[in-house]
Structure formats: structure tokens, C-alpha cells
């Protein structure tokens, strides 16, 4: 039996998930809801689904699971609503920008025993999965140092920045989750640096555009995250894990892998232009993992606890920058 | 309006094309025919199509185009049948193993003014397309030397070899088409070498498993094709074009692009295991190009003439091996 | 006219410099001094030089320049001695492990107007020089983030660690200099993390074997250094500079660059086994730059001030680890 | 004891060998002869050698070995002279452009039992040696197909072409030797194609500038050589060997291995500009192998028979082009 889905939010990321659901042989997109009727209609038409209201989807007997792609400030409310409605929930990160609200929300999830999976899609990228598999297989021994380089092609609009919670909660959070995923142990300290180098206006909006974060675990493992809101050469997404027996790395991906040699040198085309093209397979695999968890009645990962953990690291990073010191995660975890 | 398709042949390559048609927003798979009812049924079910007979598909008013994926010895008959039935035809290579039969068939296509596209899918691989674009843009100047390395992971079954027309007509033909595509001029001579190095039994079946072919054009451009029926490291598919101003190359593709470094060195995983995974995008792009040609009423390429031209080069290669000399294409073109 | 050299110290690094001097067409190795007569003899014989005492070399009229490769705790005394003796001095890093002693020594150098060049050889590696040139040419715009990965193949003996001043003063110092070289602005803050992951005994000797250091400049540029005392896959030496217009990177070097493909994947041999083979060209270029400075009467760089600056960054790193906070360089610069 | 050398010919390649001899700890350059006194003087001065006449070198008691770097048409005479004089001989390829003359010369070498090594330097390139070692170790199983791509940055002067014996005897001959080296079996057939694509004037001088050669051995192994007299991107020198268990390849070498990423893509600098910089290590290793053979009294390889064998393949290639057919090596071997 296919898993029947409702899609909440028909914006950019909603389309990505609609494609993932629509292209999955074990899933069916039944309904789409969005504040903008045309956006909902377009996706619904493309995948043979209906336009419904969020309330109708919550009540619908022909829908078992929802994908939440609405604006961040609605995530926690919707998770609670659909948890209470008995639906399985896949929610885009973050659950909320406030730790306390995330905790409340996860309490509801716990009480209702709802399935909640959080959208850290990069865990499902085939290349990063292969890195994780190499680590898990013991090929590189015990993990000692993780290096994550993550640069967006260009900064988002200022109004997005205003609502985003800042670079650590919005962008770095993906890398913080990846660091947790690869370290295989929980970070206990966070040291962060934030600069405004790309666009001074971003600083005026109270955010950074360039960041470096160092995480350490109890045993002394180190993870370094290097972020920028700009990379002229495309969407820079690399990870590297060094261990006692070796190292494993995933290089950048590009849409075409040709090389042109002339008197000026050997040139390969730029990287993917952004996450929509870079992480096509990751988004499909992510939804497939969610569906598989539902069908096999096994826990869906990453879950709410992972969402909270990454947010706490982002909080600690913010405090570290403000206080120019290493912050223990337990300080922000309360 | 979507283009409505009938699929003839529900075997391995039939599934590949069903996916390409089914996944294309401008196409609809309406009917599937196959001598094995279950095979037809499986594909029909997966894509919401019906099982029909070939005759019914030929007569069907709700079908404008067919994809022919049946055994090679039926291709020419089916092309003629569907050309007369007024359907647009996409046919897997080759049209036929015999030059005379291909010519007869193309006469029917010409008289009926049918659209016929032949399945040289590699022309639609994104990486090879980018090579072609680089050549076309003048980046490397005038084309002088083309190098194509093409190795299958392992040899096909002996009964396939018996029916295949031999390595030149079955395997090299893709590379011969690619050489024509990249040279930008018609080859006038063919020199070929064939050896049996992989499996002596292949020799007993009258075929080679290792081949090298050199093509030259009137102006003296050279193309070298290196083939083997075996590559332990995966499906080896590389092209390289050198010209007066530079060179452009497309490297091998791999399912995951990680690298593991240990005391033994730096290791990347093997290549794709075969054409079904290597050329996923190529098959999708190929059908998309066919659909686009139908919708815009423009010629579909590569067409029957391309199919014939590649077959003539394969014929010349066979004669070159037999007579240990360079064969002029006009000798076999008659 | 050739520059006539005395070599002080005929150990491992002494041999490297003897080769650099001996192979330079503008230099002549005249004398070698070492506490171990045989060591001095071997080098002297190989390069047609004499064995002399340090005092004799200081007094020698046929020697214009010395290369100091003796143990670290003799560097400052020897620099002062030869500065007073009117010789040009090339000294291996560090000048001394104590900031105050370095300052005293540099005072003598200043007063005597001696030429002093300090052995940060990596600045002269052809690949890193090309990175610097790319940065200097403006290819990548304004420098924003520098990433330096530097891992030794294996840890040094414990008695070396005891004398080394610790990982930051001994190993990281090279990377601190490289960061200064590439940032193009002086770091103002240092945040460091040190762990013992490779060998617990190193911890018992009061040192770390795994480190991460983040530097920032006044404008907010960031440099990240990742260090380990172990890398099974060879001597890992990479740098990467990202700027407003792009990025430039120098990959690892290997003694042979072949790749072997089998059913297990594509394998390249390990990296160079250590600095002696990795930095052959750098050592030769470094001495050539020193000689060129002498012959053209231009300043030799990196000089004593560079040596001091890198040491101050190492001091700040040590304090940062101890106090779990970001340390301003001016705190240690006094 | 050092081997004492005389150098015959102080031109471009003479300088390369002078550096190899001068830099070898087991060799001493004693004398240099050249028709141009200044050329001989310059090298002699640089390496502490004397200028002498060829006759004096032949008679000299303090010289055991000579390196012949004079014009090709003097090679055979000089080999005979120095063989009779009891000197060990290292001679640049080719021995002579005429097969009959080579045979006469080798007869003298045989009768005098002189040591003769022929300068196919590429066998001593570290990367190509590693390829050979990988083949010899059985890593890739039985050798089936060899691919050699060899392109010069630009064509030589017309008067050089007039004297060179043509592209096959002058340029391809290095690749023919490499093919023999890597195949591990003697080629029995040669099929060649020659074109004039780079410069029509080269055609008017009776030569080709673009060539493809296919060799086969008795068991059916195939080697393909792709040559051009022009490569805008630098000196293109690649080899690849495919076998029953895998493949091994040596990629191009570059003076610096950085990569610059901008909005236009990822660019690496061009390759080495020619053999003098590309094959520095090969020339040094080659002379070291010659010296080692002399010191250990073992055969020096490649020897006169190797020089003859490569020339015969070049002869066969010429005949193949002229007669547009595959030529058996025994046809030209007589």
C-alpha cells in the first residue's frame, strides 16, 4: 500500500518535496494546502492531487502523513496539530527558532506518540551517506576530526534574513546536524566566529555572512564548520572525516563533469547553482526513508531530538560569538 | 498536450524507456505490448497504461508515437508497420543488422514521411552533450582527434552474442555514432582490429571481445575507438576531443564520488555498473528530445540516416579486420 | 660571485639545507660544524666543504652567510653571535621558544643590521607560491577565509615532544605563518582547541596531538588550521583561500600520480611520507631566495619579525586552550 | 668509485644530460666536446669539467663512459668509435634513421662487447615506472590494451623536420618503445594513419603532424598511440594499460597543481611546457640506471636491440600509411 500524503506549503521547498513524494512508487500525493491558492493548485495538478485546507487535511481519513513546508514560524503549531490528528509528520527544519517552543512541541509529539521526522536532507545525499557508511564500517578507525565546508552561492534577501534566526540557526544548522551525524558522539562545546564580509547590509540586519564553528566532544574529537553566504563558483558542499586509520572525503558535485584544456589551463564548469539541483537525490532519499520508516513501523531519523540538538548547538554558537569564548552545550541546554 | 505513447517490448530496455516516458511531463504512456503478457502488465500497471497488442497499438487513435524495444530482428518490420500507421517512431538501435534491409526500411519511412528517431542515447548524456557544446562553441578550435574509450563491465551471454551481429554492430556502433557526432564530418575510412582476449568461447562464437577502430575523415581528422567486453572497475565510458585550440574531455561517472585515504592509498569506488545506471539522464533526455521534436514539428535526430551511417561504419570495420587493411566507407556503402 | 656558506648543524634538516646550498649555482658550501664530527664530515665530503668549529666559521673571512640548523635552544645565541660577526643568517624556525628571548635576539639583529631570514620553508613551495600569486593577482578578490589542513604522518619521539615547546610552537607555527602569509593582514585574535587522540602518552608529556586553531583579523577575515600528529595516508598538506571573487586551493602532492582501477575501485598511492620529500623544491627555493636577497641587497623574507609574529600566535593559542576563550594577540604581545 | 664521463654534444639535450651526470653522486663529468667551443665551455665550467675533442675523449684513460648527444646522423659512427675505444656508451635515440645502418652499428657493439644504452628516457619517469611496476606486479592481470597519448606543445622548425626522419621515427618512436615496454610482448603488426592538420607546410616538407598508430601482438593485445605536433594546453603525456583484472593510468604532470575557482569554473594551470621540464626526473633516473648497470656489471636497458625494435615499428608505420594496410613487422625486419 502506498502512503497517502498531504503537503502543507507549496512554495519552493514544497515543490521539491512534492516531486519526491510524487516520484516515489510507495507514496501518493493526495492533497496540497497553501495560503496562495494558485501555488497549491499548480502542484496539485502536476501530481494528480486535490487542493484542500490545512484543517481538511488534518481531518482527512485518506491521508496518513504530512510534509510541512510552510514558513518556519508555523512549524511548531502544525506539528502539534497533526500529531494530535494522528498523522505521521515530516517537517522541514527548523521546528522553531526558540528552544523553549521546540521543547513544548516535542512534548506534544511524545505524548501523542506521533512519528516526527525533521528535514536534514543532507544525511540522505548519496555521497555523504557513503562517507557515513565508510565511517561506520571502520575504514578510517575512530573519528578524530570532521571538516565541513558549506558555502551558499549568494546571500538570501534581507527580509529572509530578518526572519531566519540568523546564519547559525538558518544555514549552519545543517552543518551542525551533519557534524553530529559524522562525529558519532554528542558535541559538548561550541566555539564560533561570525563576520560580515560579503555584504555590510547583512550586518545592519543583525546577522553575519561568514562563520566558523568548532565543536568538540567529551573525548576531544573536533569538528570545524566553515560557512559563507557567497561562493562565486557555485554551491560549495564538502565534508571530510579523519580518523585513526585514515580519512574519507566527499567532494563537490557538478551538473556536468567535463574539462576543457586550452592555453589558459584546464577548466571544469562551476558547481551546482544551489540546493535544489545539488540535493535532488537527497530529497528523494529522505522522503523514501520517511516512507520506509512508516511502512516498517521503525523510528524515523533524524527526529525531533535531532532537530532540538542542532538548534542548541546554534544557540551555543550565538552565545560563543557574543561572549568570545567557548560555550558548553549544557549552558544553553539548561 | 501530452504526447501519447505505445511501448513495444517490455524487456530490460523497455523498462528504461517506460520510465523516461512516464517521468516526462509532456508524455503519457497509454499502452504496452509484449510477447510475454506479465512483462507488459508490470510496466502498464506501474505507469497507469493498458496492455494491448501491437496491432491494436498501430490502429489506436489515442496513440501518436511508439517506442520500439523489441528484439533487433523485428525492428525494421515494426518501423515499416508504424510508419504506415502514421505513428511517430522511436526505435532502439540498430534498425537492422543488414544494410540492405535498413535501406528498404528507410525507403518506407521516407515515402510515408514518418518521423523516425534512432536510439543512440549517449548523444543525450549531459556530460557528452557538454563536450559537444564545447566543440560546437569553438572552444577547442577545429576538431583534429577524437578518442573514445568504451568498455562494458562484462561480456553478454553467448546466445546474445550469436544474435548481436558481433561486437562492431552491437557495441562499437554506439561509439561509431559518437565519433560521427563529435567529428562534425563524415568518416571516409575505417581500420579495425579485433581480438579475443576476454573469453575464448566468444571467439568460438565467431566474435571478438576486444577491438580498436580508427576512423578518418576527408580532411584527415582521426577518431580512435577502444573497446572491450570487460572492465572489472565498472562501465568505462570516456570521450575526448582534441582540436586546434585545445581539448575537451568527459571523464567516467560514478554513483558516489567519495575518496577513502588509508595507509594503502586513496581509493574511490568503482564506476557505474552498467548503462542502466550510467545513462539514466541520457535516456530521459533522449525521449524528451523526441517529444520536443514532435511538439515543435522539427526533425528528430539522430534519425534513420544516422542509424544507417553507423551500421556502414560497423560493416567497414568488419571488412577491415578480415582483410587487414583500411577500408573506404564507400566500398561498403555500395 | 657565489655566496659562501657555513652550515651549523649537520643533522636531518642540516642535510636538507646542505643539498639546497650545494645544488644552487650561486652558492658554495665552504664549511660545516656539528657537535658530532662524523655528521659534519659526511656533509663536508659530499659537498667539497671543510669541517670547522662554530668559532672558526664566525671568524672566517671566506664565509659570508650561515645556515643555522642546530637544536632550537641554541638558535638565539647563534643568531646573536653571527649577527655580531657580520654574517648573513638563515635560521631554521623557531628563533626561540620564549617570546622574551626572541625579542632580545631581534634587538641584536637590529643593532648589528644583520640580515636574518627565518625558515618558514612552505612559503617557497611552488604550489603554495602559486596560491599566493593567485591571491596577490586579485583572481579571488578580497581574502575572506583561509583553510589550512596540516597533518604529520606520525608523532615524533617523546623526548622531541618534551623539547619542542608543544604542538602549537613546534608544528602549528608553520601553519600560523602560512595563515599570516595568505591572509594579507595581521591576525588579532586566536582561538584554539587541543586534544589527545593519537597517543595518550603525548598527553602525559603535557602536549596535544590534535589541534584546531581559528584566527581572525581586524576586518573579520577568518583562518582555520586543522592539525594532527598522525595521518596514515601520508603527509597531509593542503591550503585553500576563499575570497570575494572565488577560491584557490593547493592539493596534496604525491611522489607518483598513477591510479590503479580494479573491482575494488580506483586507487592512487599515498602522499609523500614527510617534509623531506614533500618540500624538496621549497627548501631549494627558500635558500635561493635568501641568496637572491643577499646578492641584490634586498630584505630577506620571512624575517625575524615574522618569526616573532608566528610565535606570538602560538602563545595565544596555548592561552586560548588553557582559558577556553578567544585570546587577543595583543594580550600576549604585551 | 664514481663513473667518469665524457659528454659528446653540448646542445639542448646535452645540457639535460650534463645536469643528470653532474647531479649524480656516483658520476663525474670529466670532459665535454662540441663543435661549438662556447657551448662545450659553458657546460664544462658549470660542472668542473674540461673541454676536449672527441678523439681525446676516445683515447682518455680517465673516462669510462660517454653520453652521445650529437646530431642524429653522427650517432652510429660515434657509437662504433667509442665501442672500439672500450667506453661504455649512452646514446640518445635514435641510433640512426636507417635500419641497415643501425644493424651494422649493433654488430660492432656486439663484437666489441661494449655496453650500449639507448635514451628512451620515458621508461625512467617515476610515474610511468609506477605504471610498469603495477603491471609487473600483476595488479591489473594480463595486459590487453595499451593507450598512449603523446602530444608536443608545438611543432619543431621545418629544418628539424627535414632531418628528423619524420614524425614516426622522431616523435612516435618514443611511444613505440613505451608500447613495447608496457605490452610485455613484441608487436607483430603495425597500422598507422598520418594527417597534416596542424600546419600545411609540414605536409609540404613530406611529413605528418597528426598520427595514430595501432600495434598488435601475436596473442592479440592492442596498443594505440595518438600523436600530435601541437597541444595548446602543454606537453600531453599520458599512458594507460588495461588488463584482465583492471587498469592503471598515469595522468599528465603539471609544474603547479593549484586550482582556481571563480564564476567561470575551476581552472588548473597548463601542463609542463615541454620534455625538459616534464622529464627532469626521468633523465636523472635514466643516467642513474646506466651508472648502476656499469657499477654492478649488469646489462643496461633499453639497449641497441630496443633501439632497433622501435625503429622497425616506425618503419612499419610509414609503410602502413603509404599502403593503407596493416603491415607485419617481419615485412620490414627483413
| Strands (DSSP E) found in B287-330 | 327-328
Residues of A in contact with C232 (CB under 8 A): 244-246
Judged by a CB distance cut-off of 8 A, whether residue C192 touches chain A is no
Instruction: State the nearest Cα–Cα gap between C261 and chain B, in angstroms.
Output: 6
Distance from CA of A224 to the nearest CA of B (A): 19
Tell me how close the Cα of A126 comes to any Cα of chain B, in angstroms.
6
Q: What is the mean pLDDT of residues C257-273?
A: 97
CB B243 within 8 A of CB B142: yes
From chain C, pick out residues whose CB is under 8 angstroms from the CB of A212: 145, 214, 222, 224
Local structure of residue C2 (DSSP, 8 states): P
Question: Cβ of B267 under 8 Å from any chain D Cβ?
Answer: no
Minimal Cβ distance to B248: which of A46, A139, A260 = A260
Of C232, C261, C263, which is closest to B263 when you measure between CB atoms? C232
Residue in A136, C266, A287 with CA at minimum distance from that of residue B257:
C266
**Local confidence band at C23 (pLDDT 50, 70, 90 cut-offs):** confident
List chain B residues with CB under 8 Å of D325: 324-326
| C-alpha cell recorded at residue B1 | 498536450
Q: Tell whether B232 is within 8 A of chain C (Cβ).
A: yes
- Picking from B232, B264, B265, the nearest residue to C262 by CB comes out as B232
Predicted pLDDT at B64: 97
Pick B197's closest partner by Cβ from D151, D214, D220: D220
* Residue whose C-alpha is closest to residue D280's, from D142, D122, D88, D170: D122
Residue A77: burial class (beta carbons within 10 Å; 0-12, 13-18, 19+)? middle
Say what the pTM is.
0.96
Nearest to A141 by CA among B150, B264, B246, B262: B262
Chain C closest CA to A12's CA: distance in Å?
Answer: 27
Triad D108, D113, D114: Cα angle to 5°: 80
Q: Cβ separation of A216 and C228 shorter than 8 Å?
A: no
| Secondary structure element (H or E) that encloses residue D58, with its range | helix D54-59
Q: Which residues of B touch D236 (CB under 8 A)?
A: 247
What would the mean pLDDT of B207-216 be, rounded to a whole number? 98
> Residue A93 — pLDDT band, cuts 50, 70, 90?
very high
Average pLDDT value for residue range D51-56:
97
Under the banding of pLDDT at 50, 70 and 90, the label for residue D25 is: confident
- Looking at residue D7, what is its pLDDT? 98
Does the beta carbon of A295 lie under 8 angstroms from any beta carbon of chain B? Answer: no
CB pairs under 8 A between B and C: 43
Q: What proportion of chain C, given as a percentage, has pLDDT over 70? A: 100
Q: What is the pLDDT of residues C79-127, one digit of tens each?
A: 999 999 999 999 999 999 999 999 999 999 999 999 999 999 999 999 9
| pLDDT for res C25 | 86
Nine-digit cell string for C333:
604581545
Identify from B231, B236, B251, B267 which residue to disrupt to test chain C contact, counting C C-beta atoms within 10 A and taking the largest count: B267
Q: Does A205 touch chain C (CB under 8 A)?
A: no
Alpha-carbon distance of A227 to A225, in angstroms, equals: 6
pLDDT confidence band for D276 (50 / 70 / 90): confident
Alpha-carbon distances of C325 from A329, C309, C314, rounded to whole Å: 15, 20, 14
How far is A193 from A322, CA to CA, in rounded Å? 9
Can you give the pLDDT at residue D46?
Answer: 87
Cα–Cα distance measured from residue C268 to residue B150, given in angstroms and rounded to the nearest whole number? 22
Give the mean model confidence (pLDDT) for residues C323-332.
98
Residue D49: phi and psi, rounded to 5, are -110, 175
Q: What is d(CA D182, CA D241) in angstroms, rounded to the nearest whole number?
A: 8
DSSP letters, C194-231, are: EE--S-HHHHHTT--SEEEEEEEETT--EEEEEEES--
What pLDDT score does B25 carry?
Answer: 85
Q: Which three cell numbers stand for residue A49?
A: 492531487
Per-residue pLDDT of C154-207, as tens digits, reads: 999 999 999 999 999 999 999 999 999 999 999 999 999 999 999 999 999 999
The set of cell numbers assigned to D177 is 618503445
- For residue D104, the model assigns a pLDDT of 97
Cα distance between residue C321 and residue C314, in whole Å: 11
In total, the C-beta contacts within 8 angstroms joining chain B to chain D are: 109
Helices and strands (DSSP H and E) totals, chain C: 14, 15
Q: Which residue has the cell 606520525?
A: C154
C-alpha distance across the termini of chain B, in Å: 44
> Whole-angstrom Cα distance, residue D302 to residue C191?
59
Q: What is the largest CA-CA distance in chain B?
A: 67
Closest listed residue to residue D77, CA positions, set D53, D96, D58, D59: D96
Q: Does A61 touch chain C (CB under 8 A)?
A: no
What pLDDT score was predicted for residue A249?
Answer: 98
Residue found by looking up cell 554513483 in the block: B255
Contact C214, C203 (CB under 8 A): no
The answer to whether C247 contacts A228, with C-beta atoms less than 8 Å apart, is: no
Nearest by CB: B139 against A46, A247, A260: A260
**Assembly ipTM:** 0.95
Shortest distance between the Cα of D68 and any Cα of chain A, in A, equals: 34
In this predicted model, what pLDDT tens digit does every residue of B171-197 receive, in sequence order?
999 999 999 999 999 999 999 999 999
Report pLDDT for B102: 98
Contact C247 A231 (CB under 8 A): yes
Check CB contact under 8 Å for D246 and C255. no
Residue from the list C131, C247, C262 with its beta carbon closest to the beta carbon of D261: C247
Q: Is D269 on the interface with A (CB under 8 A)?
A: yes
B66: closest CA among B94, B27, B11?
A: B27
How far apart CA D113 and CA B179 sit, in angstroms, is 52
Q: Is the Cβ–Cβ distance between A90 and A64 less than 8 Å?
A: no
Distance CA C48, CA C52 (A): 13
By CA distance, what is A243's nearest residue in C? C231
Residue-level pLDDT at A236: 98
Spatial contact of D80 and D95, defined as CB atoms under 8 Å apart: no
Judge: A144–C197 Cβ closer than 8 Å, yes or no. Answer: yes
Mapping DSSP to helix (H, G, I), strand (E, B) and coil, where does residue B74 land? helix
Burial D188-226 (b: 16+ CB within 10 A, else e): bbbbbbbbbbbbeebbebebbbbbbbbbbbeebbbbbbb
Beta-carbon contacts of residue D220 (< 8 Å; ≥ 6 apart): B195, B196, B197, B210
> CA torsion sign, B80 to B81 to B84 to B90?
negative
Q: What value does the mean pLDDT of chain C take?
A: 97
Q: Indicate the average pLDDT of chain D.
A: 97
**DSSP state for residue A324 in the 8-state scheme:** T
Task: Provide the 10 A C-beta neighbour count for residue D36.
Answer: 11
**Is residue C154 less than 8 Å (CB to CB) from chain B?**
no
Which chain D residues touch C256 with a CB distance below 8 Å?
126-127, 129-130, 250
> Is the Cβ pair C250, D258 closer than 8 Å?
yes
Beta strands (DSSP E) in chain C are 3-8, 27-33, 50-51, 65-68, 88-92, 116-119, 143-151, 187-195, 210-217, 222-228, 236-243, 247-250, 258-262, 265-268, 327-328
Instruction: Give me the residue from C261, C263, C267 closest to B265, CB to CB.
Output: C267
* Residue D334 reports pLDDT greater than 80: no
Q: Chains near A, with 3+ CB pairs < 8 A?
A: B, C, D
- Asked if the Cβ–Cβ distance from D270 to A266 is below 8 Å, we say yes
Partner B contacted by A139 (CB < 8 A): yes
Scan residues 65-84 of A and list those with Cβ closer than 8 Å to B. Answer: none
**Is the predicted pLDDT of residue C280 greater than 90, yes or no?**
yes
Residue C233 phi/psi, 5-degree rounding, is -90, 5
Task: Give the up-direction half-sphere exposure of residue C240: CA atoms within 13 A in the CB hemisphere.
Answer: 20
Q: Are B313 and B53 in contact (CB under 8 A)?
A: no
Predicted confidence (pLDDT) at residue B47 exceeds the cutoff of 80: yes
H and E: helices and strands count for chain A:
14, 15
Interchain contact, B261 vs C267, CB within 8 Å: no
Residues of D in contact with A270 (CB under 8 A): 261, 263-266
D255 touches chain A (CB under 8 A): no
Q: Give mean pLDDT, residues B238-251.
A: 98
Amino acid at each position: 500500500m502506498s502512503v497517502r500524503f498531504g503537503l502543507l506549503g507549496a512554495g519552493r521547498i514544497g515543490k521539491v518535496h512534492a516531486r519526491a513524494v510524487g516520484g516515489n512508487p510507495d507514496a501518493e500525493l493526495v492533497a496540497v494546502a497553501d495560503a496562495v491558492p494558485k501555488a497549491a493548485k499548480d502542484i496539485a495538478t502536476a501530481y494528480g492531487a486535490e487542493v484542500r485546507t490545512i484543517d481538511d487535511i488534518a481531518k482527512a481519513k485518506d491521508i496518513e502523513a504530512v510534509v510541512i513546508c510552510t514558513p518556519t514560524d508555523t512549524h511548531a503549531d502544525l506539528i502539534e496539530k497533526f500529531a494530535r490528528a494522528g498523522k505521521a509528520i515530516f517537517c522541514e527544519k527548523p521546528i522553531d527558532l526558540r528552544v523553549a517552543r521546540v521543547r513544548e512541541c516535542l512534548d506534544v509529539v511524545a505524548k501523542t506518540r506521533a512519528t516526527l521526522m525533521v528535514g536534514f536532507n543532507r544525511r540522505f545525499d548519496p555521497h555523504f551517506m557513503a562517507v557515513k557508511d565508510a565511517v561506520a564500517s571502520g575504514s578510517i578507525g575512530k573519528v578524530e576530526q570532521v571538516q565541513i565546508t558549506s558555502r551558499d552561492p549568494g546571500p538570501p534577501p534581507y527580509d529572509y534574513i530578518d526572519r531566519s534566526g540568523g546564519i547559525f540557526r538558518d544555514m549552519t544548522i545543517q552543518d551542525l546536524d551533519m557534524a553530529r551525524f559524522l562525529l558519532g558522539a554528542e558535541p559538548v562545546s561550541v566555539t564560533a566566529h561570525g563576520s560580515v564580509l560579503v555584504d555590510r547590509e547583512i550586518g545592519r540586519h543583525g546577522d553575519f555572512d561568514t562563520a566558523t564553528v568548532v565543536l568538540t566532544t567529551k573525548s576531544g574529537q573536533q569538528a570545524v564548520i566553515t560557512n559563507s553566504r557567497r561562493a562565486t563558483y557555485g554551491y560549495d558542499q564538502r565534508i571530510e572525516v579523519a580518523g585513526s586509520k585514515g580519512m574519507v572525503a566527499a567532494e563537490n558535485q557538478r551538473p556536468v563533469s567535463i574539462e576543457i584544456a586550452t592555453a589558459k589551463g584546464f577548466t571544469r564548469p562551476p558547481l551546482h547553482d544551489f540546493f535544489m539541483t545539488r540535493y535532488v537525490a537527497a530529497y528523494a532519499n529522505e522522503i523514501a526513508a520517511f516512507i520506509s520508516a512508516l511502512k516498517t513501523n521503525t523510528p524515523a531519523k533524524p527526529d525531533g531530538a535531532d532537530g532540538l540538538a542542532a538548534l542548541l548547538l546554534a544557540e551555543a554558537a550565538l552565545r560563543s560569538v557574543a561572549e568570545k569564548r567557548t560555550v558548553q552545550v549544557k549552558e544553553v541546554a539548561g
